[in-house]
Structure 1
Amino acid sequence: MIVRVSEAQLIPGAEEEFLGLLLALVASFPARYRGLVRHEVLVDHANPRRVQYVSTWVDEEALIEYAGRNWRSEAVTFPNEEKFLTTPLSLRHYTTAAIKA
């Protein structure tokens, strides 16, 4: 599985509107993308202007369906998202490692 983390650094005062748009956008993802295992939006307790969208995908094929061929380097955004951000989205990917009991 592949875990994808997109992180936004928001301008002051943009938190509520940005979160509303993001949550509305990702609400339909489980029905739209067959390879999405789980997803969540995280807000940093220490800095509420730091928001992450974390999604777990079955495989690379599922990520291509969601984010396109350049999924490794290009973030998925919503229209006019940049007006909420202090910097472009950061993007990281992780492979899950099995924990042995």
Structure 2
Amino acid sequence: MLTRVSEALVKPGREQEFVERVRDLVRTFPETYDGLIGHEVLVDLQEPQRVQYVSHWRDEQALQNYAGPGWRTDPVTFPDEDEYLQQPLTLRHFRVV
């Protein structure tokens, strides 16, 4: 299993709107992407402008089917996302052991 973490640093005052937009966009992902085991949107308690989308994938192929051939380096974004962000998304992957 692979875990993918996309982290956003949201502009002050746009946190709630950004989180609602992300939650709406990913709501249908479990039915849409075979191999998505689970996912959540996390907001840092001490720094609420730091938001993560964490997704858990059955295997590398399932993750590639979602994120494309550049899954290791290219974050999945939505239109106009940059108007919410202080900087580009960061992306990390973890293997569950």
Q: String of CA shifts for 1:30-66, please: whole Å, max 9, x gaps.
A: 0000110010000000011000000000011101110
1:70 and 1:60 mapped to 2: Cα distance? 12
Rg larger in structure: 1
What residue number does 1:65 align with? 65
Deviation at 1:16, TM superposition (A): 1.2
Deviation at 1:19, TM superposition (A): 0.8
Task: Spell out structure 1 runs of 4+ moving beyond 3 A.
Answer: none
RMSD: 0.5
Q: Percent identity?
A: 54
What residue number does 2:41 align with? 41
5+ residue gaps, structure 2: none
Give matches, 1:20-99, under 5 Å. Answer: 20-97=20-97
For these two proteins, the number of residue pairs brought into alignment is 97
2:90 and 2:64 mapped to 1: Cα distance? 18
Deviation at 1:20, TM superposition (A): 1.0
- TM-score normalized by structure 1? 0.95
Deviation at 1:76, TM superposition (A): 0.4
- TM-score normalized by structure 2? 0.98
